[in-house]
Each structure stands twice: as C-alpha cells, then as structure tokens.
Structure 1
Amino acid sequence: MKTNIIKAENLKKSYGTLEVLKGVDFTVERGEIFALLGSNGAGKTTVVKILSTLLRGDGGSAAICGFDVKRQRRQVKGCISLTGQFAAVDEVLTGRENLILIAKLRHLKNPGKTADNLLSHFELTEAGSRRVRTYSGGMRRRLDISMSLIGDPQILFLDEPTTGLDPEARISVWKEIKQLSENGKTVFLTTQYLEEAEQLADHIAILHEGKIIANGTLAELKKHLPSAKVEYVEKQPTLEEIFLAIIGKKEEN
C-alpha cells in the first residue's frame, strides 16, 4: 500500500500585490515521479521553494515525510534534496572533487568511494578528473543530480532539470530520473515540457493562474478530452527521432 510522502493543502503565496499561489492542493505518493506542469511564471518554482523550506508560504500548510515545512524545517531538510534550474556545481573543481566536497559536508565516512560510485553510475568516470568548466550541459546536469543523491535523500526535487539541454542530453537525464524512481526514490519534477511530463510522470498536476486545475495520471487527464476521432494517416518521424538517428549513425561510423 502506497503512502503520501508529500502533502500540500491550500498553499498561498504573494509578492506584493501579485498573487502567485491562490490555494494549491496535491499529494505525492512514496516512490512515484510527480510532475508539476505549467508555463513560465505559473508558480512552479515557488511551490518547490515552499516545500523545501527555502520560502515561507503566506497561507495553507505542507508536510514532507510527515514533517511540517514551517515548524520542522530541520527534519524536512534531512529527507530531501533539491536540484535547481541551474546546475549548482563548482566549475573550478573537477567532477570528482565536487562530489567529494558534498560528501564531506554530509559527513560521510568514505567521500572518495562515494564519488567514484556516483561517477560510475552516471557514466562520468572518464570525465571525473576534468574540471567541470569543460563539461557539456548534459554532463553538468548529470553531475548536479548525482551530487543531490549524496546522503541518500528520500525525496529529490528537480526544478526544470532539462531546460536548455539538447535532445540527446535530455533523454539521458530522463533515463536517470526513471532509474531513481525504480530504485525507490520519490521524484518531484517541475517542467514546462509536455513531452517530459508524458514520458516520466506517474502523476501530473497542471498549475495555472495560481491553482491546480487538473491532477491525475496521464490516462485520467486524457479523459478531459472528447473522444478521439479515428483517422488513418502516415506517421512521420519527429525531428527529435531524425536527430538521434543521425547522431547514432555518425557514432557507428
């Protein structure tokens, strides 16, 4: 039986006269990928900041792992990790040194082994000894996510994790996110990409004008549409499929 690990009730937040959140409600089950979908400025990052104790809401309540985000901030921080929109990595250090630094801050017994295991898991071993400023966008994002896993958090917040990435790098990050869920992590994902939510999420909530206007599985959300009209058309490959096919052929040659 699955249990709720995140619960938000009537969350409200304003900046001056601008009302960003007007009463947001949702729950997230343990071990699932939950996508908060919305356009730029919809308030997705504000929700993440409130849930991760970086920002106080003006009204409502939220609980993480059973702990109140206002009154039990230390306990909340102990069971979460946050990867923001921009990779929080030190470009002067190598990838391995970044991981070791975080492992030491987390007071782990063997920081070097932790770093090597994560580099291997995220296919960054060969790049581990290079300075991060030489990394591609996709490599930086994978390193950023690997740093967030140090300390074995129960919940991983990913705020628009693939923004600015090319198609190949985006699919690589998707693969890692799916793997996290398969390994029992709860992933709270914000995105403005419809395909990203469709590919990854067990549950999707749509945030619009400060409120959740739809919430459910992809199959449940499809019920909001009228019955499909059956037509027989030739399926054309998408640009993304063409791009990846060309890249694959190039690598083979």
Structure 2
Amino acid sequence: MSKDKKAIIEVQGAAITILSRDNVDYISLTDMLRAKDGDFFISDWLRNRNTVEFLGIWERLYNPDFNSGEFATIKSQVGLNSYKLSVKDWVEKTKAIGLRATAGRYGGTYAHPDIAFEFGMWISPEFKLYLVKEFRRLKEDENSRLSLAWNLNRTLSKLNYRIHTDAIKAHLIPAEITPEQTRITYASEADVLNIAMFGQTAKAWRDTHPKAAGNMRDEASVEQLLVLANLESLNAEFIHMGLAQGERLQKLNAIAIRQLRSLTSHIALRALGAAGTEGEA
C-alpha cells in the first residue's frame, strides 16, 4: 500500500496538514477548524444542504463508483433537524473519494483541495484566500524542486549520450558508408539503451503515444534518467571492449533493473526515515 507523504502549510497562524498518496493531495479539515472561533464541527458543515449538493456534484465529476442512489436518499433528508451525517457515513454509503477520515499519527478528516477550499469559505472568505495562496505556493515549490532534479538528470543523460555516440563512431561505423547507413547504426544503438531501460524501442513508444509532444525520455522519471545516464557510459565502455550488441543488451538490462531497485528502495527508506524523525519531534 502506498505511504502518505506529509507537508505543512501555515494559514493565518494555523498549521494545516496536507497528506499526499499516489500524487493526490488531501487537506486536513480538522486542522482548518482550529482557525474558526466557536464550537463548530465538520458535522455542522455536512448538515448544510448546499454542502451536500456540492459534494454530490464533485463526486459525479471525478468518481465513477459514486453511489448516486444513496446520495439521493441523503439529499432528501439533509437539513432536517433530526438528521445527522458524519464523514464516515458519507463515505461508506456513497463510496465517496473526496473526503476521508483517517486514524493514527495524522488522524482526522481530510478533503481533496477542491472540497477543502469550499470548507475554507465556510470558515471565512479571507481564510479561503490565504489557504489557496499557501497551497499554491507549496505546489510551486514542489514542482520547482522536481524540475531542477529532472533537468539535471536529463543534462547528464545528454552528456553521456555524446560519449556513447563517440564510441559508436570509433568502433561500429565502418569507413566509406552513406549518412543514412550511419543514422541507422546510431538509431540501433540508441534502441539498445531504450530496450534495456524502458523495454521498447523509440518507434514502439511513439506508436503507442501518438499525441505525446516529446519522446519517451522526455516522459521518464528522475530515477530512470539517472540510470539511463549510467547505461550510456557503460554501453560506451562495452563497445570499446568489443562486446556484441546482444551481450551488451543483456548486461545493460540487468544493470538497469538492479540500479532502479536500489534507487527506489533508497527513496522509500529515506521517506520512512523522515516520517520517523517527524514522529520523534
């Protein structure tokens, strides 16, 4: 099961927890309540007919498993003095995904940002605007760090590719051939790396991604680009050593698998360590 990643933003003096799982963010409504004066509860917000209608529309847009029949029943009763609706009941009855109640270290009620912003408006328009501003700042910071790491590894990959093509030119390109024959040789060797790393040729990837703006390397993760840069250097050395293409492909594929496992394992352990440190704080 995927682990939640935690971030904290401060909104008008209140620390708001954001959990992310599988690249989907959820903002703590429990933390947001601390910014509201008086004895208010999330159940009060859920008793509001406009709230339930908003939640139902959101779920219909983004949740194919949403139980519209149960939603209709809830909607017919919401607003009555005798009717109470908890987050747990809402999720269990309608199979909603926009709200979630969690236990444990980060226990509380969490909501998708769209819904959390709506909840923020219930607290106050000013609070909502500050919440949106801080959340956007967090996402911009995250994207900036990711972009820097991705661009660094893309640059390393391109530099290593120069070493790779020089090795091909020195050892695999015979004299007196046409430019077209040279191009075919380079493309063949590029696909040795593509197959070792991605399991398919560049053409096969383009055939299955006809609308993509770039190539498969443009769509690669930071970890894949780092390993690809290593493979380019290694393949250049294997070419200098006179290894046959098939033998090089097998070696490179085994190295790619081993290095990616090591990288992803290291990332998981680092995230676990960070979570442990937060727990001790």
Which one has a bigger Cα radius of gyration? 2
Larger RCO (alpha carbons 8 Å, 6+ apart): 1
* More strand per residue: 1
Q: TM-score range by the shorter chain?
A: under 0.3
* More helix per residue: 2
